[in-house]
């Protein structure tokens, strides 16, 4: 076997907080090392949904899908030293890390949970589990993508704001005039007025200085006004784009992301806008003015200017060479803080469960551990920043002392005037000011860099396929299509309720056997079909396939004989409604919760839906009726009332197709029967997922599933007559 030349380049840092995602992060980093930059989400989409997530075997399979080839080796540390690096190794039997280099003095790893670090051989031996994955580009491997760039990312956020940026730059360049004139005035004051005694120059000079200060104040105010407007625009546009993208992502994305984590990413848009249009913008525009100040300093004295420019170059080298470690620590810090926020939000959302089980102390201990990790990360990042900040600032301070000493010597030897030295010192301060600002903002800049990477992870996730197809269709619409869209829903042709699943196969991971294989089902308009079976049999999955929340691997889901993609999304969403086990009620009014802020829904349709859900009388009995307040999560309603509000919300659009996944599980038998009778009278095609078999005995067809496969199907009487698995299920109910 011929391995490529052993390179000593470091692998890119990709930080994750979940140990289960460490394998995907390590593989993403290794791909980037070989020149293929892919989003972490692209790898995670295959990796974390598998039942074998975290196994070396699965990681090899995912790597092969990315055109890498290789194998797993079981070897000790000495054998590992002879193998080519980088390699992915199993670490403490719970995560994966990248091995970058082994020497006699120690080992360098890149840990997706904490970033790159050096270990002693004894420390490495305590974590290494003896398994290494050696992966290299295969024949079909092609490089693509590019390394993320903070400058490019920030520049992309300024698209559409070029006018504001131009005005800010123009104001900054105009500011050079008063900023340069003040040191020159100081030179004249010292050399001509104080030393030479030209008192007649004093009044005009003071007047000129006052005018310069007023111009400087006016231009500074103008620039800050432009920056404030730019900040508002950037915050609104970037947050809006991000959240709109999130809303159009597929359901599978939200299965693996905490609400608190996504909230933190939304808020980070404001933080980026604030920094980009605040101190950072001022400092970077100031870097442009350094050229002008440097040129003017050169006119005063070449030697002093060489000292100042040399220190500026050395400071820049320090900043550039420490970029990697600062970026890594900031990424770890951002991930840790997002983890704490997600844990906090989740803890509050399940507070009743925690109190019912008396586990507040246990959850607090878990949260406190995550908070401690975040605080430690901030402490480490702050310590690194102090070192990075102190070095260049020390150089700048030393340069000022050097300039003062060297300049004083030149003054004493008649090479410079006192005014020249004072003016040069003032110009030098203006010269170093932008650089000093950037150095002091180093931590903020790195935090923003980490925020941008986390935002781009979401932006790079592919949108819901149904939404993409709808948007493509909308862009191709002609005049007739536009007229159809403008017509009210009642006049637009909607599906009649004919649903067909034709040889559908689906699974949650391509590396596992499919959960549902070769499943077929036909529902004619008004037909009621019930799906029953034990937990994990695939009942809810079939419901989600029909509702369009999941896409089949193969086979077709047809609505009125056409695939879902052939229907306009707004027509389909108003014709097919789903009620599942998770109830979502928002803070607002009952009306807003039922209509979801759709003003086209009439009062009559809302009342009828509430009556069919058997909740109208209870709503009408409240002081403000449909305008009564609903607390977040529906805390001021009982469990049964919340479920009936959810059913009413589904019925308010008068759907021709209904997917009911344990939709009446919180209702008492009498109310449940009344609701079922009302739903039957509506005549909608219904797919019912149920555990309580008493609610589906009158279904036109009952399908008994086991591990995604049909065990029995038929009406209740037919299945009872067979005395098979369905009867056993009834006995256990």
Burial of 104 (0-12, 13-18, 19+ CB in 10 A): exposed
Report d(CA 352, CA 285) in Å as an integer. Answer: 53
Structure tokens at 578: 């789903």
Domain 150-459: which topology?
ABC transporter transmembrane region fold (1.20.1560)
Report d(CA 252, CA 464) in Å as an integer. Answer: 9
Burial of 473 (0-12, 13-18, 19+ CB in 10 A): middle
Question: 464-487+496-575+692-733 sits in which CATH class?
Answer: alpha beta
Q: Which helix H or strand E contains 721, and what residues bound it? A: helix 716-722
Structure tokens at 313: 């170059």
Report d(CA 502, CA 564) in Å as an integer. Answer: 13
By three-state DSSP, how is residue 20 classified? helix
CB of 11 within 8 A of CB of 99? no
Q: Which helix H or strand E contains 65, and what residues bound it? A: helix 56-65
- pLDDT of res. 608: 93
pLDDT tens-digit readout, 594-648: 998 888 889 999 999 999 999 999 999 988 899 999 988 888 888 889 999 999 9
- pLDDT of res. 476: 53
Report d(CA 569, CA 471) in Å as an integer. Answer: 9
In degrees rounded to 5, what are phi and psi of residue 413? -100, 10
For residue 558, the Cα-to-chain-centroid distance in whole angstroms is: 33
- pLDDT of res. 1: 37
DSSP type of residue 195: I
528-533 vs 701-706, strand pairing mode: parallel
Structure tokens at 400: 């000022």
Cis ω before 86 (30° cut-off from 0): yes
Task: Enumerate residues 6+ apart whose C-beta is below 8 A from 329.
Answer: 115, 377, 380, 381, 384, 446
Task: Enumerate residues 6+ apart whose C-beta is below 8 A from 397.
Answer: none
Select from 548, 579, 598, 566 the least CA-distant residue to 651: 579
CB of 532 within 8 A of CB of 660? no
CB of 117 within 8 A of CB of 111? yes
* Positions of E strands within 541-689: 554-559, 562-563, 576-579, 588-589, 629-630, 657-661, 685-689
Residues in the chain with pLDDT values less than 50:
1-7, 478-480, 482-490
For residue 124, the Cα-to-chain-centroid distance in whole angstroms is: 33
657-661 vs 516-523, strand pairing mode: unpaired
Report d(CA 685, CA 529) in Å as an integer. Answer: 8
By three-state DSSP, how is residue 413 classified? coil
Select from 574, 722, 705, 592 the least CA-distant residue to 645: 592
CB of 326 within 8 A of CB of 450? no
CB of 460 within 8 A of CB of 435? no
Structure tokens at 496: 């009649």
Any idea what the Cα angle at residue 234 is, between residues 229 and 236, rounded to 5°? 100
Domains 150-459 and 464-487+496-575+692-733 are alike in CATH topology: no
- pLDDT of res. 475: 54
Tokens 């399908």 -> residue: 703
Report d(CA 731, CA 155) in Å as an integer. Answer: 66
Number of H helices, E strands in the chain: 28, 18
Tokens 């209870």 -> residue: 618
Report d(CA 355, CA 359) in Å as an integer. Answer: 6
CB of 490 within 8 A of CB of 575? no
Question: 19-137 sits in which CATH class?
Answer: alpha beta
Strand partners, 523: 499
By three-state DSSP, how is residue 614 classified? coil
Task: Enumerate residues 6+ apart whose C-beta is below 8 A from 51.
Answer: 509, 512
Domain range summary for the chain, segments of one domain joined by +: 19-137, 150-459, 464-487+496-575+692-733
- pLDDT of res. 730: 80
Report d(CA 433, CA 292) in Å as an integer. Answer: 13
- Say what angle helices 360-412 and 442-459 make with each other, to 10 degrees: 130
Task: Enumerate residues 6+ apart whose C-beta is below 8 A from 352.
Answer: none
Write the DSSP assignment of 459-489 as a string of letters: HTSPPPHHHHHHHHHHHT--HHHHHHHHS-G
DSSP type of residue 702: E
- pLDDT of res. 509: 72
pLDDT tens-digit readout, 59-100: 888 888 888 888 888 888 888 888 888 888 888 888 888 998
Per-residue buried b or exposed e for 661-679, using 16+ beta carbons within 10 Å of the residue's own CB: bbbbebbeeebbeebbebb
Structure tokens at 591: 């009306």
Report d(CA 617, CA 613) in Å as an integer. Answer: 10
By three-state DSSP, how is residue 427 classified? helix
Burial of 429 (0-12, 13-18, 19+ CB in 10 A): middle
Q: Is 130 left (phi over 0), alpha (psi -120 to 50) or beta?
A: left
CB of 92 within 8 A of CB of 48? no
């Amino acid at each position: 076997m011929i391995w490529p030349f052993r390179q000593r380049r470091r692998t890119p840092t990709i930080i994750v907080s979940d140990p289960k995602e460490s394998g995907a992060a390590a593989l993403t980093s290794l791909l980037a090392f070989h020149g293929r930059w892919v989003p972490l989400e692209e790898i995670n989409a295959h990796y974390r949904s598998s039942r074998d997530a975290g196994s070396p075997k699965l990681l090899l399979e995912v790597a092969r899908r990315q055109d890498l080839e290789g194998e797993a080796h079981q070897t000790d540390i000495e054998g590992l030293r002879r193998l080519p690096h980088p390699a992915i190794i199993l670490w403490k039997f719970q995560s994966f890390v990248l091995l970058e280099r082994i020497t006699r003095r120690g080992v360098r790893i890149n840990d997706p949970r904490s970033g790159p670090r050096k270990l002693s051989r004894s420390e490495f031996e305590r974590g290494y589990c003896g398994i290494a994955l050696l992966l290299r580009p295969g024949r079909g491997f092609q490089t693509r993508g590019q390394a993320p760039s903070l400058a490019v990312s920030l520049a992309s956020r300024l698209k559409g704001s070029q006018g504001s940026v131009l005005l800010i730059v123009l104001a900054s360049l105009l500011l050079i005039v008063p900023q340069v004139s003040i040191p020159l005035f100081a030179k004249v004051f010292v050399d001509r007025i104080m030393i030479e005694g030209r008192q007649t120059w004093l009044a005009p000079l003071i007047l000129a200085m006052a005018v310069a200060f007023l111009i400087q104040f006016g231009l500074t105010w103008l620039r800050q006004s432009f920056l404030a407007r730019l900040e508002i625009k950037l915050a609104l546009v970037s947050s809006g784009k991000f959240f709109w993208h999130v809303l159009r992502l597929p359901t599978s994305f939200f299965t693996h992301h905490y609400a608190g984590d996504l909230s933190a990413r939304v808020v980070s848009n404001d933080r980026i806008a604030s920094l980009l249009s605040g101190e950072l913008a001022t400092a970077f525009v100031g870097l442009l003015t350094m050229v002008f100040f440097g040129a003017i300093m050169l006119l005063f004295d070449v030697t002093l200017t060489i000292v100042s420019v040399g220190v500026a170059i050395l400071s820049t080298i320090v900043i550039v060479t420490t970029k990697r470690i600062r970026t890594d620590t900031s990424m770890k810090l951002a991930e840790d803080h997002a983890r704490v926020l997600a844990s906090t939000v989740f803890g509050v959302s399940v507070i009743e469960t925690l109190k019912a089980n008396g586990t507040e102390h246990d959850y607090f201990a878990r949260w406190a551990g995550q908070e401690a990790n975040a605080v430690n990360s901030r402490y480490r990042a702050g310590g690194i920043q102090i070192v990075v900040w102190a070095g260049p600032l020390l150089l700048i301070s030393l340069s000022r002392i050097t300039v003062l000493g060297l300049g004083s010597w030149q003054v004493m030897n008649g090479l410079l005037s006192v005014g020249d030295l004072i003016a040069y010192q003032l110009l030098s301060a203006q010269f170093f000011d932008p650089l000093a600002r950037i150095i002091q903002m180093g931590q903020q800049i790195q935090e923003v860099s980490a925020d941008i990477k986390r935002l781009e992870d979401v932006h790079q996730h592919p949108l819901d396929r149904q939404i993409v197809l709808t948007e493509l269709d909308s862009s191709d619409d002609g005049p007739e299509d536009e007229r159809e869209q403008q017509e009210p829903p009642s006049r637009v042709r909607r599906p009649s309720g004919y649903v067909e699943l034709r040889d559908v196969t689906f699974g949650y991971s391509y590396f596992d056997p499919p959960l549902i294989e070769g499943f077929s089902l036909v529902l004619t308009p008004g037909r009621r079909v019930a799906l029953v079976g034990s937990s994990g049999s695939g009942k809810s999955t079939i419901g989600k396939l029909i509702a369009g929340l999941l896409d089949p691997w193969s086979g077709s889901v047809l609505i009125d004989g056409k695939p879902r993609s052939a229907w306009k999304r707004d027509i389909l969403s108003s014709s097919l409604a789903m009620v599942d086990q998770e109830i979502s009620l928002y803070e607002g009014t009952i009306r807003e919760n039922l209509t979801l802020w759709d003003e086209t829904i009439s009062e009559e349709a809302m009342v009828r839906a509430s009556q069919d859900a058997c909740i109208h009388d209870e709503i009408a009995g409240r002081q403000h009726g449909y305008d009564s307040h609903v607390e977040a999560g529906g805390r001021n309603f009982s469990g049964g009332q919340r479920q009936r509000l959810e059913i009413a919300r589904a019925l308010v659009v008068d759907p021709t197709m209904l997917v009911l996944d344990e939709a009446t599980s919180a209702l008492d038998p009498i109310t449940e029967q009344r609701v079922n009778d009302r739903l039957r009278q509506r005549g909608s095609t219904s797919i019912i997922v149920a555990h309580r078999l008493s609610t589906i005995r009158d279904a036109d067809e009952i399908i008994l599933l086991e591990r995604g496969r049909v065990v029995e199907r038929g009406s209740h009487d037919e299945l009872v007559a067979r005395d098979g698995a369905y009867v056993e299920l009834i006995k256990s109910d």
